[in-house]
Structure 1
Amino acid sequence: THTSIYINSARIHQHLMKGTFSEGLKLVPVIEKNLEEYALYVDRHRILVFNYKIATLYFGAGQYESAIDYLQRIINGPMDLRIDLQCYARLLHLMAHYELGNYDIIESLTKSVYRFMAKMKNLTVVEEEMFRFLRHSFGVSPQKLKPELEKFLHKIKHLEKNRFETRSFAYLDVISWVESKVYGKSMGEIIFEKYKKSKKRKYKKS
């Protein structure tokens, strides 16, 4: 039945929360098959969310080209649903190109994504800082990039617990991405460490 779609959605969410991206990707073929089989019963909104979550799994697993493929489905799709996801899809798309080193398009892409998000009034402090970092990172040598990343992290780290900023972290964990760069770890490792710490805190409270 199409309830398996909802179950898999919850499973993907768990993998995103834990940072177990590669594990989560094992669900993708099944989800794709289910979405095809139950196309008549699945609303466009759910498909949009699936595409975004799958793109995030690919991004977290370092498979940026596949992430871009899924993000294109959102970016090139209808604009009448979930403006917030439309914004985050564009930002993640920009970050994937950054990771791939496609610097020839990054500058124009940064401008267009910034304009889009500003127009949709979807810019939080984290995104503002993200764009500032991207603008400053053009032409910066790898040796000088780490101090820039550290500065960026310093500016946004305290926002992790700010409830007004949580919306952006729910869709796009920019802080963990920056930390992975600063500490030389994978994004999955960073998120999994945070997940374990949060479990410990909950355990202590109970």
Structure 2
Amino acid sequence: MAELQKDFLFVLIKSLTTSEKRQFKLYVNRLGINVDAKFLLLFSELDKMKEYDEHIIIEKKISTKQQLSNLKAHLYKQILVSLRMNPSHQNYRIQLREQLDFANILYQKGLYKQALKILDKTKQSALELDEKSIASEIIDLEKVIESQFITRSIKGRADELIQQSTEISKQNHYATELSNLSLRLYSEMLMHGYVKNDADREKVLELFNDQIQKIKLEKLNFTEKLWYFKAHVWKNQLLQDYKYTLKYAYQWVDLFHKKPEMILSHPVWYIKGNTYLLKILFLYGNIDILEEHFENFNAMVNSQNFAQNENLQALIFLTHYNTLMNIHFVKGEFFTGTKLIPEIEMKMEKLRERIDEHHFMILYLKMAAMFFGSKMFGKSIEYSMKVVECKGNVQEDLLFHTRILILMAKYESGNDEDYDEFINSTLKFARKMKKPEAFHFESIQFFKNINNLVLSRQQESFKAFDKVLEEFSKNEYYRRSLLYIDIHGWVKSKIKNVDVIEIIKQKVRYKRKK
């Protein structure tokens, strides 16, 4: 994967469908370019390659090493132009910009009234779709035309443009403030993870309140409300306040359901909103509500009206299969869950260039947990090691909890050949973490001790660790740590001498009664 990502042109060509390749060749021929034009020869050669190899291109004299960079840049641009013309990639945003381009061309030809007619129609569409950035560009061009030329197009035109410009400027200001806040909170979550103490909490609240107090919800349009709800979701996720994360995730999704046409305009944010909603419902463990929303999500994204492209397919894939596995986890249906794995891996391979490493590792961890619940401990360790050995940028918490799962699997399987060595490497890893917690070291110490005890004494160790986990569960800052891998449920199953599936089913019955 890393090798392919080094050459963007090669990755782009490999992402093309058969119809997109055919259209590119038709587009090139329409230009009247000779069929043996160098960039077309380069396209054909790269299309045939399984892995990018610059030496082959030079050996076949398609290009010299000195010219290759420019030739690749030219080919890259021509492919993008061809894709832009493809109906499957046409969306309302591209269409609005295309109309704006047409108006610019008419303006430059001196056909001012024709330009203004296109601009007025396009502006109305942009405002209806809440595309204020494009609407603002349209108004700027209208101002240029009206101020340079006496068109006498509409009486009171200047006042109208000033009013529209002022209103859009206010809305754009709100959108900028809220999007900046959302991005800061999201960055905070990626860089530092969830709050670990009161000082972290105060830092997040200060950052949030400083911006949000300036915003009045009732003055916001669709896009600003969307950013408003996003900011609240990410803030409450950082604070591990799941009640309010759920509240604002609901409002995020409901915003689209109240204005369904916006689902077509902003399909990515519709999917993302559902991703957070389904994720928080999983953490709550209420299977009935989770399955209901999952069914609604699938119905919408698989409907004929829903936009389709490679980016959306990747996002839908992640939301669908993460949620499907979560449902099997909540129900304790591990054997059923393992049957999904070949199907998931096949789709992962197809989407390898469109999904980042971290999301892949989350899927592998869930697969490993499925194998663990199915008592296939060797497979659980095998899939866990895919995460541990990953060279990409993966969150520390994910890596640590994968190591805990490996220790659980090693204990269950009796495979203790490198048990002590793995304990030591996990301890070194924990010490290097940015913000190691007491939970990390207590967990490592438990697994270190348990392997040195005779069977009759192990039960006492499980009971003692259960009390430690009970104390951690009362602390709001450790709540998240206990959700990655259900180590607490596993410990309780050992104490009660029952299968961990029984512990999970008891939780499900409890949630359903509520």
> In the alignment, which residue of structure 2 is the partner of 1:159?
472
Q: Structure 1 pair 194/125, CA: closer, same or farther in 2 (3 Å)?
A: farther
In 1, Cα distance between the equivalents of 2:466 and 2:455? 17
- SS of the residue corresponding to residue 103 of structure 1 reads coil
Q: How does 1:182-201 map to 2 (within 5 A)?
A: 182-200=495-513
In 2, Cα distance between the equivalents of 1:56 and 1:122? 25
- SS of the residue corresponding to residue 483 of structure 2 reads helix
> In the alignment, which residue of structure 1 is the partner of 2:138?
none
> In the alignment, which residue of structure 1 is the partner of 2:418?
105
Identity %: 26
Residue by residue, what CA displacement relative to the aligned partner does 1:12-41 show, whole Å, maximum 9, x if unpaired? 112223332222212112111111222232
Q: Which has more radius of gyration?
A: 2
Q: Which amino acid aligns with 2:391?
A: P
Q: Structure 1 pair 177/121, CA: closer, same or farther in 2 (3 Å)?
A: farther
Q: How does 1:43-58 map to 2 (within 5 A)?
A: 43-58=356-371
Structure 1 unmatched runs, 5+? none
> In the alignment, which residue of structure 1 is the partner of 2:355?
42
Match of 1:66 among 376, 379, 394: 379
TM-score under structure 1 length normalisation: 0.87
- SS of the residue corresponding to residue 511 of structure 2 reads helix
Match of 1:119 among 421, 432, 440: 432
Q: Which amino acid aligns with 2:454?
A: S
TM-score under structure 2 length normalisation: 0.37
Q: Structure 1 pair 145/88, CA: closer, same or farther in 2 (3 Å)?
A: same
> Contact (CA 8 Å) 1:160, 1:175: kept in 2 or not?
no
In 1, Cα distance between the equivalents of 2:405 and 2:466? 18
Structure 2 unmatched runs, 5+? 1-312
> Contact (CA 8 Å) 2:381, 2:409: kept in 1 or not?
yes
In 2, Cα distance between the equivalents of 1:126 and 1:22? 30
Aligned residues: 201
Q: CA deviation at 1:88?
A: 1.5
Q: CA deviation at 1:70?
A: 0.9
Is 1:94–2:414 an aligned residue pair?
Answer: no
Q: Which amino acid aligns with 2:356?
A: D
Q: Which amino acid aligns with 2:423?
A: T
In 2, Cα distance between the equivalents of 1:123 and 1:163? 16
> In the alignment, which residue of structure 1 is the partner of 2:15?
none
In 2, Cα distance between the equivalents of 1:43 and 1:108? 30
Q: Structure 1 pair 113/6, CA: closer, same or farther in 2 (3 Å)?
A: same
> Contact (CA 8 Å) 2:430, 2:441: kept in 1 or not?
no
Higher relative contact order structure (alpha carbons within 8 Å, sequence separation ≥ 6): 1
- SS of the residue corresponding to residue 153 of structure 1 reads helix
In 2, Cα distance between the equivalents of 1:46 and 1:39? 11
Q: Structure 1 pair 120/54, CA: closer, same or farther in 2 (3 Å)?
A: same
Q: CA deviation at 1:175?
A: 0.7
Q: Which amino acid aligns with 1:181?
A: K
Is 1:139–2:452 an aligned residue pair?
Answer: yes
Match of 1:171 among 470, 484, 492: 484
Q: CA deviation at 1:127?
A: 3.0
Q: CA deviation at 1:161?
A: 4.1
In 2, Cα distance between the equivalents of 1:124 and 1:20? 31
In 2, Cα distance between the equivalents of 1:4 and 1:134? 36
> Contact (CA 8 Å) 2:358, 2:393: kept in 1 or not?
no
- SS of the residue corresponding to residue 104 of structure 1 reads coil
Is 1:150–2:463 an aligned residue pair?
Answer: yes
In 2, Cα distance between the equivalents of 1:18 and 1:90? 24
> Contact (CA 8 Å) 1:55, 1:71: kept in 2 or not?
yes
> Contact (CA 8 Å) 2:371, 2:377: kept in 1 or not?
yes
In 1, Cα distance between the equivalents of 2:483 and 2:349? 27
Q: Which amino acid aligns with 2:421?
A: S
